[in-house]
Amino acid sequence: MAVRLTESRLPANFTAADLGQAATATDGRCVLVSFIPSPLVVGRPNSYVLFVTDAALVAAAQTYEWTFREGDHPPVVQSSDEGETTYQPVHAGPLTLTVRVLGAGNAEQASVALAQASVAPNATLEQQIAAASQQPGPGLGNPGVARELINDHNAYYQAAATQFAAGDEQFGCFLFSTVYDGALRQPADRRRQHVQQLAASLNNSLGNFAELAAEATGTCGIRLFLLAMSLGAAPPVPWTEIPETPAARPPVEAQLRTRINALDPTVKVDLFNLLRFPKSNIFQCARLLVALRDRYFAGASFNDVISGMSGTRAVWITRHLREGPILRNP
């Protein structure tokens, strides 16, 4: 089957645009999502996923043909057995992707096109990286992570900050630092590998989904356990605090793995896809920061969280996000 479980549905109560830049086929049977929004940056890879949500098209699909056109340059054609591919633009200018769903005898079953553009790397950032490399002492953090966040995801965390805490000027800074920290903790290659492992677990029924779900996932390094405890009015997993003392954690974490394993496969796929895409990962990170603030420090603005109590509340919110939620020792 060419349509995997992970590309057979959009997360419940979310649209394709919540995942990334999207384009829907004219007949509505499939939708294409780009990890990075236009404009892309020349020389930086981008992933594309085609969701096939029509049962008849799911049954007919066998392979995919992806055609990338950069201005007047010769098109680049890729073929795949799965509804996902990666492309790295070579030239600045207009970029159009057309993906065709092929059935028996390579007959076209559906197609969808996405118009984008590509530009040169951010000149200001490159100047800052170059200048920092020539100076003694601490440099500009991790240049690779800085390039990823500025070139690829800037629009996402800016929009998330506005949506979840408009008017709280410190929230945007806190969100950016959290996204940066998450991306820094796991190199991009390792993050992609982990997402592929989660997908394989779901698509091939490997039985290791709960173990993989305990790890940090995606751009911000969100634990799927925490997402499952906090999503929607009736979260699929009840709120469960993990003991602060490491020695006391195994029974609670085992209980969480059991609950994650017991979830309906479609719920697992929805949780996975919300963390798979950089946009929804960053937006869920923003939502979680607000939810954790409201649960543990109700009434405090992020200005208070950052500046008050020597930043202790900010440290605890970050710990809840990375490790928990945590049941603090009395």
Q: What is the mean pLDDT of residues 300-307?
A: 86
Residue 135 confidence (pLDDT) = 59
Domains and their CATH numbers in the chain = 5-119 (2.60.40.10), 184-327 (no CATH)
Residue 44 confidence (pLDDT) = 95
Taking only Cα atoms into account, the Rg of the chain, rounded to an integer number of angstroms, comes to 21
Q: Say what the alpha-carbon torsion angle 80, 199, 219, 18 is, to the nearest 10 degrees.
A: 80
Residue 68 confidence (pLDDT) = 98
Residue 1 confidence (pLDDT) = 62
As a whole number of angstroms, the distance between CA 65 and CA 100 comes to 5
Q: Are 168 and 134 in contact (CB under 8 A)?
A: no
3-state SS class at 224: helix
pTM above 0.85, yes or no: yes
Does residue 207 carry a pLDDT above 90? no
Neighbours of 28 (CB within 10 A): 10
pLDDT tens-digit series, residues 129-168: 888 766 554 455 788 888 898 889 999 999 999 998 877 7
DSSP 231-283: SSSS-SS---PEESSGGGHHHHHHHHHHHHHTS-HHHHHHHHHHHHSHHHHHH
Residue 330 confidence (pLDDT) = 56
Mean of the per-residue pLDDT values of the chain: 92
| Torsion angles phi and psi, residue 115, rounded to 5 | -95, 130
Residue 93: HSE in the Cβ half-sphere, 13 Å Cα cutoff: 8
Does residue 324 carry a pLDDT above 90? no
Three-point CA angle 178, 280, 273, nearest 5° = 120
Q: Say what the alpha-carbon torsion angle 68, 71, 75, 81 is, to the nearest 10 degrees.
A: 0
Q: Provide the token pair at 195.
A: 């997402």
Winning range, highest mean pLDDT, from 115-129, 164-178, 218-232: 218-232
> pLDDT over 90 for what percent of the chain?
77
Report which residue type is found at 262. Answer: A
DSSP H helical segments within 112-262, as ranges?
123-133, 143-147, 154-165, 169-185, 188-204, 209-213, 224-230, 249-261
Three-point CA angle 277, 259, 281, nearest 5° = 15
Band of the pLDDT at 109, cuts 50, 70, 90?
very high
| Secondary structure letter of residue 200 according to DSSP | H
Residue with the larger pLDDT of the pair 88 and 300 = 88
Band of the pLDDT at 301, cuts 50, 70, 90?
confident
